[in-house]
Structure 1
């Protein structure tokens, strides 16, 4: 008898007042202390109690100021980029209060250097005992470029070309220490075997790096690599490098199409079609009854000003459409930023008639993250249906409120999935890479 497929889970976070939901900081039930360490430590404990595989923080490197060519709207209403603290120090603190939860952070290949990133994640992997994950982004708008002095912003495909070489260098640096290079022979006074630590001597179009890394080979060898590109070029990048593909698709039809494309791209890149885990974002609203869950969703949505969603959408599209009337069609927006998100928005309209105001409401309530609304049993059934259809290997749970959404999901939905053999009841042995069933951490 075939065993039912277990699904993987990730908790999605931003180190600030907003995640996908722009209502988080407005929670009428309690304050959300997003600037405090205790807030994130508590979330980490909850996710580990729910046997989540990992948590990861999305990140960006600028305040949003594309809408109306100003930061006024985003800061006044609290958009997705109003505050973003650096996630790496927070993950270090999370590592101290957990023992099995994987720990992921975003780092940009456009505004960083391979040596810096390789060093950061090797450190995190060591201090966490093999739980590090890196969400790779290429960064996407002019605000970020201006903060680093690179103007004009690199084109979409140029960013991925640079990212390919960035990954090559980072992998060389992680591999610059052999597994057994660290000797630690105290009696003989030998720290390491120099013949097993290698210069990389990389010289390319974008980067030069001599190496070696100044940190021994870490428990995983390299962090688990996460990526969320939805464009054709983004999928090609993911097929070459990525081990967990995070996708935000608004319905099961688009989930299935996305995953089919990913499997084909992996095969075209010479990898097994299941070499990367595809995890779909979902935002659950759990109630004792469906009516109670719908009331939670409606309360959440009542806190959304469409203009806050428009501020985030403008940043994601890297387009100032503030001069367009709110009843203009979304198809009138010309984007140079996150192409997948805007394409998904247009797909929801079908006939292209969605207005900019309607798009702002959708973006504000969850950046197109599909909402699962119902009892714990309803939501468990929906998740199982998605996995059994082949549309996903697991889910990135995006909170409507913090820590409320994670508390409800861990306490009510996860036990049902565990009872049905569809979610892990305990952590397996080994590193995060081992628990995700991924190949070893060396090229």
Structure 2
């Protein structure tokens, strides 16, 4: 795709109450994370603005540390259930849900996402994660989390099985001939019969091949093994990058890995997360942001920091002291741990300051300013080959998303960087991704 024809993609990150850790305390926010009307309103705002997709993250464990009672992340909707409900109140916007390969079975994941793709007429995407929260293990019969290298080996095989199950049926297998009594052509059925290191799965999937052929495969790993898995299998990558230079390096590295897997650069979209606070003036935007920052209890910020560093308990360290030297986690988010350690050192932040620093963007690039300033930065990253689009993180829902949709999106459209209307009906069409052929037929 030539530079002149490139258009950026936008995803709306729907985190309960908002992406800022103190969002639930803001007076504009409904503090109940199980209030469906908040998600419905946010989804419809994003669709009216022609976003490519909604994105919902997930964890299969609730925090129970001493500070957990002061956060709003103990309860939230299971992503596929939520997106199935949102599919009924939207028409075109993509629906990307997170599901871990560490504490699921391939058949379950394949069936659920294929079902969502049918229910939404071709709008489903699976964000494949390996789980970084060690506490999840104890909800699934394990005392300890699966080691990092093994998680990715399992994830690679898991993805192969899911893809094989999605291709269980030819596109024209189901003839449903009421007169003859033939429901499907026997020649249109492929029996997977997978036997591997981690999974033995016979198949076939009891859902027909989906409208997109397969739901879009999304990943977020930025470690070395995560990048390699993404280069081999992913169609969209979400990533946290804090500067244009770092984003360009990541972009070039990941795109450069595709050729050895027989893939072109257009087959993978890289969408860094960007935390956005919009104001009529820069001063107004910063004042808005500071309202959230004032609601951050230091202990809550530090607890979030410990979680993001790889599930370290930092409560015994002084709030006004530096970030302690921590071993490289083998079970948590290795790339995020490296990123946050760099921020602490470069900006000479105390533990409390670092916790407050990441309370909004959680390690993602933060843009606080006018629509023009924000559009300038997004354009620089997009045209500078640092991004194919962005996963937009807003401090609170739905108001923060409404600010972006009503103020920044028109500026991007005016510059010819973003669509003014949907040209297709499926998530693949929004992202400019081809419908995959079924290799078995």
Bin the TM-score by the shorter chain.
over 0.9
Question: Does the 8 A contact of 1:4 with 1:422 survive in 2?
Answer: no
The residue number in structure 1 matching 2:257 is: 265
Question: Does the 8 A contact of 1:160 with 1:233 survive in 2?
Answer: yes
Q: 1:186 aligns with which of 178, 184, 199?
A: 178
The residue number in structure 1 matching 2:313 is: 320
Cα shift readout 1:132-167 (whole Å, capped 9, x = no counterpart): 000111012321001111222111110000000001
1:437 to 1:254, Cα distance in 2 relative to 1, 3 A: same
SS at match of 2:359: helix
1:355 to 1:268, Cα distance in 2 relative to 1, 3 A: farther
Cα drift, residue 412 of structure 1: 1.0
Cα shift readout 1:220-265 (whole Å, capped 9, x = no counterpart): 1211011110111111111111100001112222211211221122
- Is residue 2:283 matched to residue 1:282? no
Q: Bigger CA drift: 306-315 or 428-437?
A: 306-315
Q: Unpaired runs of 5+ in structure 1?
A: 66-70
- Stretches of 4+ moved more than 4 A in 1? 350-353
The residue number in structure 1 matching 2:20 is: 21
Q: Residues 170-209 of structure 1 correspond to what in structure 2 (within 5 A)?
A: 170-209=162-201
The residue number in structure 1 matching 2:60 is: 61
Q: Bigger CA drift: 118-127 or 339-348?
A: 339-348
Cα shift readout 1:91-115 (whole Å, capped 9, x = no counterpart): 1111111110000100010000000
1:267 to 1:305, Cα distance in 2 relative to 1, 3 A: farther
Q: How many residues align?
A: 434
Distance 1:40 1:249 in 2: 27
The residue number in structure 2 matching 1:421 is: 416
Question: Does the 8 A contact of 2:223 with 2:334 survive in 1?
Answer: yes
Q: 1:73 aligns with which of 67, 78, 88?
A: 67
Distance 2:226 2:411 in 1: 35
Q: Residues 33-44 of structure 1 correspond to what in structure 2 (within 5 A)?
A: 33-44=32-43
RMSD across aligned positions (CA): 1.8
The residue number in structure 2 matching 1:383 is: 378
SS at match of 1:246: strand
Cα drift, residue 205 of structure 1: 1.0
- Is residue 2:363 matched to residue 1:368? yes
Q: Bigger CA drift: 126-135 or 35-44?
A: 35-44
Q: Residues 3-402 of structure 1 correspond to what in structure 2 (within 5 A)?
A: 3=4, 5-14=6-15, 16-17=16-17, 19-65=18-64, 71-74=65-68, 76-78=69-71, 81-316=73-308, 317-330=310-323, 332-334=325-327, 335-336=329-330, 337-350=332-345, 353-402=348-397
Distance 1:150 1:380 in 2: 46
Q: Bigger CA drift: 368-377 or 131-140?
A: 368-377
The residue number in structure 2 matching 1:68 is: none
Cα shift readout 1:406-437 (whole Å, capped 9, x = no counterpart): 10111111111112211100001242112211
SS at match of 1:112: coil
Distance 2:89 2:347 in 1: 48
Question: Does the 8 A contact of 2:125 with 2:218 survive in 1?
Answer: yes
Cα drift, residue 312 of structure 1: 2.5
Distance 2:6 2:158 in 1: 35
1:360 to 1:52, Cα distance in 2 relative to 1, 3 A: same
Distance 2:248 2:345 in 1: 18
SS at match of 1:191: coil
Distance 2:25 2:62 in 1: 19
Per the normalisation by structure 1, the TM-score is: 0.93
SS at match of 1:274: helix
Question: Does the 8 A contact of 2:39 with 2:398 survive in 1?
Answer: no
Distance 2:185 2:147 in 1: 44
SS at match of 1:56: strand
Distance 1:427 1:224 in 2: 18
Cα shift readout 1:390-414 (whole Å, capped 9, x = no counterpart): 1000111101011111101111111
Per the normalisation by structure 2, the TM-score is: 0.94
Cα drift, residue 2 of structure 1: 6.6
